[in-house]
Amino acid sequence: MDETRLREIENYDFYSGSRESFYKKNREHKAVLVQGRHWEKAPLVTILLPTCKRRDLLKEALESALRQEEVADYQIIVADNEGMPLEMETETAALMKAYTDSKVIYYRYDRQAYSPMNSVVALARSKWICFLHDDDVLAPNYLKIMLHIVRQNQDISYLSCNIGVLNYEISKRNIREFSKIRREKLTIRKAIRRGYFFYETRGNWLGALIDRQHYIDMGGIPALATGIGDHIMVGKYNDRYGIYKILDGPRLYFRRECGKGQISMLGGEHWTDCYTSKMFFYLYLARRNFPLLQKFFRYKGFALVQEDSRALRNGIYQVAADVKEIADRCHIKTADGKTAQRYCYLDLVLESMAALYGKRRSFQVKAAECGEKL
């Protein structure tokens, strides 16, 4: 990452964005409707499935979206980002011809979209949207449970679900097992705002049920390529509108890890750049939300980046990000012994306060009300 790029990210207003900036990003390419049509009356939910050269995996993702139980008011937009000439029949285009269900809408871009997630949102017309990667799958009870919860609380405009990470071939039996509700009640909690990321694990964005208009109004995923656009988007949404997540429920979205072509498979240099962006993001939050405690939150943010780096090195990827390089790029200095000890005490106090505050922002839904049997 060169010096110009570093300074651009360092000075970036991560939480900027508006409806105008959202649509401005999508003017550089054209989405062409190839197959299917939008219903005259907009569906309640649109499952958004951007794809690029993954025919076989796309087939599994699409069929999981079509197998939703007890919910019919939804459509699926498959947005093909291969960018090949429209007259050329690609493997993906040939596959899509087999899907004649009225729920399925197939678009192709005339050139590769820089931000395929934002681009596919612009095509939807529903109140709710859900992002589905083309190498992931939804549980069959995904929409049934998620829609029931948002109907129980009208304040929810973003509901995050639990994700299952599977490193073996996903089967119907596996999904059924992991997506079962095993408790009489599900606990849903509204995230804290100012201390988000520092004292609360980020809610998942894949599989989240998101209010489409809010997503557009805040500008969607940032235009600046940071490698952590989804991370920033979740924080920005929470800052503006608040997000909720299911704490102890079933896994309703299933990811494949270590898949061919995944960004997560790139090497240490890529992750060093990503974590540099993340550190600059935490510095931005420290200045914006905690001006009197900036030094502490610089320390806290770097501790989180170090933790992420250790997890990356010891996890399934076994890739090492250069933490020293990140510290140099972001001008982070190690705290001395006494300062570190004071920060440790302050961290414990703030963590306890966040936990207590979080409990007051929770509510429960009975499993039976979701149409699920224990």
Whole-number pLDDT of residue 83? 84
Tally of structural domains, the chain: 2
**Whether residue 269 is found in the same domain as residue 253:** no
**Whether residue 310 is found in the same domain as residue 210:** no
Look up the domain containing 298 and give its range: 265-357
Instruction: For the chain, 374 residues long, give each residue's pLDDT as a single digit of tens.
Output: 889 999 999 999 999 999 999 988 777 778 999 999 999 999 999 999 999 999 999 999 999 999 999 999 999 999 999 888 888 899 999 999 999 999 999 999 987 777 788 999 999 999 999 999 999 999 999 999 999 999 989 999 999 999 988 766 566 667 877 888 887 889 999 999 889 999 988 889 999 999 999 999 999 999 888 999 999 999 999 999 999 999 888 899 998 865 555 555 567 898 999 999 999 999 999 999 999 999 999 999 999 999 999 888 876 567 888 999 999 999 998 777 788 888 999 999 999 988 887 777 888 888 777 766 55
How far apart are alpha carbons 127 and 124 in whole angstroms? Answer: 9
**Whether residue 294 is found in the same domain as residue 235:** no
Within-domain flag for 8: no
**Whether residue 91 is found in the same domain as residue 176:** yes
Instruction: Provide the H-helix boundaries in the chain.
Output: 3-10, 19-25, 55-66, 91-96, 116-123, 142-152, 172-178, 212-217, 229-240, 268-289, 294-314, 323-329, 337-359
Say which amino acid occupies 106: Y
Those residues with Cβ within 8 angstroms of residue 68's Cβ, 6 or more apart along the chain or in another chain? 74, 138, 140, 141, 142, 143, 144
How far apart are alpha carbons 174 and 137 in whole angstroms? Answer: 12
**Whether residue 245 is found in the same domain as residue 306:** no
**Whether residue 216 is found in the same domain as residue 150:** yes
Comparing C-alpha atoms, which of 226, 154, 236 is closest to residue 202?
236
Within-domain flag for 24: yes
**Whether residue 170 is found in the same domain as residue 305:** no
Rounded to the nearest 5°, which phi and psi values hold at 219? Answer: 95, 0
Within-domain flag for 223: yes
**Whether residue 42 is found in the same domain as residue 95:** yes
**Whether residue 227 is found in the same domain as residue 338:** no
**Whether residue 94 is found in the same domain as residue 23:** yes
**Whether residue 207 is found in the same domain as residue 110:** yes
